[in-house]
Structure 1
């Protein structure tokens, strides 16, 4: 259903998925019992399908101009007829409708995103979507699974400052990787972690250079500069 080749497509697709999940929560009486074996002709007349299709259209029109056309027209896979869009939407609804409100809320928060970064060497997976729960799952990773609290993160930030203070060389460029897409960095702490790292770099190298450091953000970052967590705050206010 969703296709894309830009960061805008990724964000828009997730916004649509988020809106669908929220719509199902708010319209249980209409969509809670959607059948999974409707004929193509009945799909096009189904009240839930038509209502969500209209809801998506209206929601996209209310987005900030920076996220609106021409990206909206290209976020859906290139089916020739509108009926195919409704058919794919119906297939998604049959998967989501049986879930309870807590499950739908969790899916809305997790969202969907590209399987890999747009800059990945794995070209076969670029532009394809998945549930954005990362790859660092319990019992499915070679990395020790650990969820820190704010105090743990703060302690490691201080440790980083100490380490940088012992490094005599002054680099010209430092690359910081968020590691949010793959799930290595806990999303609820990513902003705290990133701020601690940037503060440590500023404290160490601004003094040595006698001037501030310049921070540049990749335009294709997951969720943009502000990040993936709480990414729907702005869209829900428009």
Structure 2
């Protein structure tokens, strides 16, 4: 789940500061490794602007820019324009490359846990010295501008466990504890814990860094000052399209009378039948699912009209056979089939039986949502088996982990103008990542084309000598391809 500032105490809010612990002076003195160009397949193309699906995929392009020499290995500013901070704590920090660049693709993949964890992992390599999060008007952050300085280091606990510790100060806010040590969680879904310590307990405090949390209005003001980000600064520009709005993809299903168990049950059997590990096969799996839905709807009509006998309509196996008889040319190919034919057929009976219970309205919403992989196939813990689910996004409409906000065409135009004002500064970014956040269910799917058009038009207008249609790279793992998901069967 993505983390919002309002959901944490102030110490937890500033957890991103932990990132900067890794940017030790020792890194500058002793660590000069480059990425191994022979072993790292980042997918980077050398393009300045790279459109990606899920936010942790940005790491591929940032480190590709390092490898090509267009981005320094350390000392960069990350200008993060996003509906969320994406500063969640990595579950196991020590498995990531720290104090150095990742050496190969495997090490980069270890850093790509999920959409809100990647920034701390990147900062751990020394890539980032200053993090600026610009949050949208619909977020609920208490102050328009907070800047914090941090010093960090290491200490041993009474159990002789080596842990991180840090001290922080700010002219914009106060801290309940100015110095704390960090305790790693036992389980992946738990938060880190923080314990107050005396400053002299934290050793090797060779780290220094800045974190800024800025409202859209304040960012526009700072951009006009001419001193916020300078022409000489090395900048990674990172824009998430959910900066415009955030909606719950599954809301129409709940409105139509389905509950969480209904949705999870469908996803369970979808994952037992369809297995993919790339966006191309993901589309093929959804295409099969759309045909299956239409066959279910048609068979239900035949049952209601009396065209099919009672025995056929009441027996799950017979009903499934009637459904499959309507799609003889749509046998599941081995590329997207989890199990051999007979086992898949067994699972199909269970899936069709659950679809059979749905109303026409529910089936229509299910078709619009479709099926997709639960996460980017590049994610650290991605598993092809059970990868496909109902494409419902990460958060249901009753989630308290994110702030939902619907938008209009007029508001999209306003946000685009705000974005242009924020970016109209002296610097030219070294690399730009634009994240769709559609598969994970944050950016409104129906409005994503207009939102993305606005973002790219701003980049072309602000950087006319660097960004054109020909220099924008679309990642190969975009959900629904370059054109996107919502209109995938209407174009």
Normalising by structure 1, what TM-score?
0.79
| Partner of residue 377, structure 2 | 118
Offset of residue 21 of structure 1: 1.4
| Partner of residue 216, structure 1 | 473
What is the distance in 1 between the residues matched to 2:481 and 2:467? 30
Offset of residue 9 of structure 1: 1.7
Matched, 1:6 2:265: no
C-alpha contact 1:113 1:131 (8 A) present in aligned 2: yes
Offset of residue 31 of structure 1: 5.8
Matched, 1:176 2:434: yes
- Structure with the higher fraction of residues in strand conformation: 2
Offset of residue 144 of structure 1: 0.8
What secondary structure, in the 3-state scheme, does the structure 2 residue paired with 1:16 have?
A: helix
What is the distance in 1 between the residues matched to 2:463 and 2:433? 14
| Partner of residue 150, structure 1 | 409
Specify which of 272, 287, 296 is matched with residue 24 of structure 1: 296
| Partner of residue 91, structure 1 | 350
What is the distance in 1 between the residues matched to 2:416 and 2:468? 22
C-alpha contact 1:116 1:126 (8 A) present in aligned 2: no
Specify which of 53, 78, 103 is matched with residue 362 of structure 2: 103
In terms of Rg, which structure is larger? 2
Matched, 1:185 2:454: no
What is the distance in 2 between the residues matched to 1:9 and 1:154? 35
Bigger mean CA offset, 193-202 vs 114-123: 114-123
What secondary structure, in the 3-state scheme, does the structure 1 residue paired with 2:343 have?
A: helix
What is the distance in 2 between the residues matched to 1:139 and 1:164? 34
Matched, 1:205 2:463: yes
Offset of residue 184 of structure 1: 1.0
CA RMSD of aligned residues (A): 2.5
Runs (5+) with no aligned partner, structure 1 = 61-70
Offset of residue 59 of structure 1: 4.5
C-alpha contact 1:205 1:213 (8 A) present in aligned 2: no
What is the distance in 2 between the residues matched to 1:162 and 1:118? 35
Closer, same or farther: CA 3–210 of 1 in aligned 2, 3 Å: closer
Offset of residue 26 of structure 1: 2.4
Closer, same or farther: CA 77–220 of 1 in aligned 2, 3 Å: same
Closer, same or farther: CA 149–74 of 1 in aligned 2, 3 Å: same
What is the distance in 2 between the residues matched to 1:17 and 1:77? 14
What is the distance in 1 between the residues matched to 2:375 and 2:468? 36
What secondary structure, in the 3-state scheme, does the structure 1 residue paired with 2:372 have?
A: strand
Bigger mean CA offset, 119-128 vs 87-96: 119-128
C-alpha contact 1:180 1:187 (8 A) present in aligned 2: yes
What secondary structure, in the 3-state scheme, does the structure 1 residue paired with 2:418 have?
A: helix
| Partner of residue 117, structure 2 | none
Normalising by structure 2, what TM-score?
0.40
What is the distance in 1 between the residues matched to 2:289 and 2:474? 26
What is the distance in 2 between the residues matched to 1:196 and 1:57? 43
User: Number of residues paired by the alignment?
Assistant: 212
What secondary structure, in the 3-state scheme, does the structure 2 residue paired with 1:95 have?
A: helix
Closer, same or farther: CA 16–136 of 1 in aligned 2, 3 Å: same
Q: Deviations over 1:24-70 (max 9, x none)?
A: 2223244677446x5xxxx3xx2x3234334444257xxxxxxxxxx
C-alpha contact 2:373 2:388 (8 A) present in aligned 1: yes
Offset of residue 139 of structure 1: 2.5
- Structure with the higher fraction of residues in helix conformation: 1
| Partner of residue 231, structure 1 | 488
